[in-house]
């Protein structure tokens, strides 16, 4: 009997099974049937070439425009170059020493072409493409696969050596012998929702007769994914409620009240409202799990500080976890400055009800670290600020009542869970998560499904406008020269500048695979038209630029005469601190840095940021980075330097960042441009996403409905013992690693 667990190598042969496993990680029938088509092509329509990305392995439905053959001058043999088109834009397909291709690729013929997208002389091309040609009538496909006779052609996510039509052939073979599967959804629920059966959905997603069948199959498969995720989160919320938190009621005569009296500014309406929500949560034995999101400078730190002081007033401790040592140190300094004598417990001049703020990071000296750990363990420190060092086994707290996680997107969930476990065996500390990366509601319901969400939407007070421009160096190299000239102008006006690079450089291994990767040069062969016949058929993407290299080049070239400093994660803590203090004091004109400056760094005199290889960063990260400028009275400027060509999704992403400074709008744009499923855990856990059909952008109603249904089911059956089908669905749609990830979320 052929079930979803059946091995592909036994059904399709060892060679094909091995190819599917090594290229796409597909081992079982279930894996293959859940490798859904990316899209469906109709024979009459061609694929839009404009949206292709460099390095992507793409399958396009296109028409042969022209074919040329010529002899190579400096090497033996011939080159056949076919231009294929979608009617608006063209791609080049180049074949070395395969003259017979000229007889096959007849102008006017249509077919499917698959290969790696590369570029040569700023022109897109498919590297050594495979192809299947159709006849003009589309009634007899000849040598093409039988499945292409259908009205809709499924186009699958593919890989080098495994084009879409090969995957389609494998799917067809499997469907012919598959015996189907029991439906995990209760019949009552399926009928109430008007859903098709799982077996019917899996068959029609691969063999639809029309787009109506595609839609019906997608609706069912989306629902399964949404419900599986929400069931896990509902179980998680149910488990949290079983473990009490330490109640930390507000006091009118404590350190929080004293801080409120001495605060030099008024809280915004949002800060007041969210502060009340948090204060109420902290006063309960029900563990607070709240996410506060807001723009850079919107006042999240003040909200967190007042919450921590309420916990201190109750005789307990608060821990604040920051992603970098630079940010942890900045937070510790900021908290001490804000509190003044209220942070000087046991010191001369300290207030009567003062507490202590302790910094604990991995690079402290042995004596400093021992002292910080002693202050945390004894309870002498009411607030402990640190990096990953806080979650090491040797670190303990006297009575941890609140965990504040700053910039949650920078942490893996295992780290957050480890810090939460420091609360003790009987209780769980309250948890406050903060992020300056706005999160769309659907993502909050899915990724942060166990958290109540609050948003600080007020624009920061006293912030100057920031303008952003894309600098496309491949198309307009003179624009980069103008960028360096602009830096000289800003420095002459008394301002300062950041130059941000994706990596550090020197002995760093950018790919993480050993040796540095090297850029393959393109070499002309006399006529200036021939790319070298290397393994990729074109120019490979070079490694991202590095701080050490760029700083050296700028100091000797376009920025010579200016005072340059460098900042990156491999510097010793004292050196990092010295560089930041020098930059903040105006002793440096330009700071060349990695994303270590992404959060927490506040230098109001910095007005310009140049982000090198901006296409190597995500939308949210670019938005965070540019939030470092325009923090004073002068307007800010952010320049996104890129080699990405116009018309690609990469350039669309950069253009989107340049078009708005609204973080909430950018969060939605970011979601639109991501591949489906990337949101759920892949960035934080490094594991393959379990979402293949569900769109966190377009399927908000499905997610919300699944959340309600999951709450109803779990309330009656927390461990799904009476819903074996649903338990099986969770296991199938959300694999073991994904379930563990979601549970820790």
pLDDT of residue 520: 34
pLDDT of residue 267: 86
Location of structure tokens 């005199």: 605
Residues 6+ apart with CB under 8 A from 443: 667, 671, 679, 696
In contact, 29 and 5? CB cutoff 8 Å: yes
Output 404 or 411, whichever has higher pLDDT. 404
CA distance 97 to 94: 10
Q: Is the pLDDT of residue 221 over 90?
A: yes
Burial string for 413-432 (b: 16+ CB within 10 Å, else e) reads bebbebbbebbeeebbbbbb
Q: Is the pLDDT of residue 579 over 80?
A: yes
In order of 56, 416, 588, the CA distances from 575 in angstroms are 40, 28, 14
In order of 85, 102, 306, 601, the CA distances from 67 in angstroms are 12, 6, 70, 56
Q: Is the pLDDT of residue 678 over 70?
A: no
Location of structure tokens 């510790």: 332
Residues 6+ apart with CB under 8 A from 68: 80, 81
CA distance 215 to 211: 6
Q: Is the pLDDT of residue 445 over 80?
A: no
In contact, 546 and 569? CB cutoff 8 Å: no
CA distance 592 to 546: 10
CA distance 597 to 547: 13
pLDDT of residue 41: 76
Phi-psi region of 561 (alpha: psi -120 to 50; beta: other; left: phi over 0): left
Q: Quick one: DSSP state of residue 701?
A: H
CA distance 342 to 355: 6
pLDDT tens profile 475-504? 898 999 999 999 999 999 999 999 999 989
In order of 183, 207, 590, the CA distances from 723 in angstroms are 12, 30, 62
Domains identified in the chain and CATH numbers:
8-180 (2.40.50.140), 255-456 (3.40.50.300), 466-508+546-660 (3.40.50.300)
Window from 442-456, 496-510, 633-647, 685-699 with minimum mean pLDDT: 685-699
Q: Is the pLDDT of residue 740 over 90?
A: no
CA distance 356 to 382: 6
Which residues make beta-bridge pairs with 96? Answer: 79
Give residue 687's pLDDT band: very low, low, confident or very high (50, 70, 90).
Answer: very low
pLDDT of residue 142: 39
| Mean pLDDT for all residues in the chain | 81
């Amino acid at each position: 009997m052929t079930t979803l667990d059946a091995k592909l190598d036994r059904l399709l042969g060892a060679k094909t099974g091995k190819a599917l496993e090594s290229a796409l990680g597909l081992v079982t029938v279930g894996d293959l049937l859940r490798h859904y088509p990316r899209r469906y092509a109709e024979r009459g329509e061609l694929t839009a070439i404009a949206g292709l990305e460099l390095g992507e392995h793409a399958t396009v439905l296109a028409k042969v425009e022209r074919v040329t053959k010529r002899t190579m001058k400096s090497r033996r043999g011939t080159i056949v170059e076919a231009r294929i088109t979608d009617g608006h834009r063209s791609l080049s397909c180049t074949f070395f020493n395969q003259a017979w291709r000229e007889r096959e690729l007849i102008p006017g013929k249509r077919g499917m072409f698959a290969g790696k997208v590369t570029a040569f002389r700023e022109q897109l091309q498919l590297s050594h493409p495979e192809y299947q040609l159709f006849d003009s009538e589309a009634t007899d496909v000849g040598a093409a696969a039988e499945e292409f006779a259908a009205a809709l052609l499924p186009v699958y996510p593919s890989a080098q050596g495994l084009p879409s039509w090969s995957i389609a052939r494998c799917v067809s073979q499997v469907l012919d012998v598959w015996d189907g599967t029991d439906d995990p959804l209760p019949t009552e629920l399926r009928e109430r929702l008007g859903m098709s059966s799982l077996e019917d959905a899996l068959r029609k997603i691969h063999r639809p007769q029309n787009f109506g069948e595609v839609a019906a199959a997608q609706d069912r498969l989306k629902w399964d994914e949404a419900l599986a995720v929400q069931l896990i989160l509902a179980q998680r919320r149910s488990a949290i409620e079983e473990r009490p938190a330490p109640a930390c009621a507000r006091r009118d005569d404590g350190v929080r009240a004293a801080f409120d009296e001495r605060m030099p500014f008024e809280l915004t309406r949002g800060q007041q409202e969210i502060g009340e929500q948090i204060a109420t949560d902290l006063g309960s034995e029900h563990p607070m799990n709240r996410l506060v999101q807001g723009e850079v400078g919107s006042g999240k730190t003040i909200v967190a500080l007042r919450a921590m002081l309420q916990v201190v007033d109750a005789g307990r401790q608060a821990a604040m976890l920051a992603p970098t040592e630079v940010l942890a140190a900045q937070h510790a300094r900021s908290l001490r400055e804000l509190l003044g004598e209220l942070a000087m417990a046991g010191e001369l001049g300290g207030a009567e009800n003062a507490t202590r703020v302790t910094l604990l990071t991995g690079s402290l000296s042995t004596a400093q670290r021992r002292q910080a750990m002693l202050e945390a363990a004894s309870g002498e420190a009411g607030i402990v600020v640190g990096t990953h060092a806080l979650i090491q086994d040797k670190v303990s707290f006297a009575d941890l009542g609140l965990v504040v996680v700053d910039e949650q997107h920078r942490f893996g969930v295992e780290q957050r869970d480890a810090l939460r476990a420091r609360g003790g065996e009987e209780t769980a500390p309250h948890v406050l998560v903060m992020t300056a990366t706005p999160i769309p509601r659907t993502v909050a319901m899915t990724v942060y499904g166990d958290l109540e969400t609050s948003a600080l939407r007020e624009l920061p007070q006293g912030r100057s406008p920031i303008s952003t421009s894309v600098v496309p160096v491949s198309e307009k190299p003179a624009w980069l020269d103008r960028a360096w000239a602009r830096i000289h102008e800003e420095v002459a006006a008394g301002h300062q500048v950041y130059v941000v690079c994706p990596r550090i450089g020197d002995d760093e291994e950018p790919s993480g695979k050993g040796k540095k990767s090297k850029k393959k040069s393109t070499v002309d062969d006399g006529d200036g038209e021939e790319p070298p016949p290397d393994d990729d058929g074109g120019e490979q993407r070079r490694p991202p630029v590095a701080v050490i290299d760029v700083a050296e080049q700028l100091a000797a070239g376009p920025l010579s005469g200016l005072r340059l400093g460098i900042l990156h994660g491999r510097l010793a803590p004292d050196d990092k601190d010295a560089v930041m203090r020098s930059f903040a004091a105006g002793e440096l004109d330009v700071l060349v840095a990695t994303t270590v400056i992404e959060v927490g760094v506040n230098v109001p005199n910095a007005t310009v940021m140049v982000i090198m290889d901006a296409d190597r960063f995500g939308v949210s990260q670019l938005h965070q980075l540019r939030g470092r400028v325009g923090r004073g009275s002068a307007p800010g400027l952010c320049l996104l330097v890129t080699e990405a060509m116009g018309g690609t999704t990469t350039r669309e992403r950069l253009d989107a960042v340049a078009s708005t400074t609204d973080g909430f709008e950018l969060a939605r744009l970011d979601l639109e441009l991501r591949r489906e499923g990337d949101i759920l855990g892949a960035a934080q856990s490094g594991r393959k996403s379990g979402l293949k059909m569900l769109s966190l952008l377009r399927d908000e109603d499905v997610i919300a409905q699944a959340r309600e249904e999951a709450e109803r089911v779990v309330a009656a059956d927390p461990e799904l013992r009476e819903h074996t089908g649903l338990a099986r669905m969770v296991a199938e749609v959300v694999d073991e690693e994904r379930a563990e990830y979601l549970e820790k979320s």
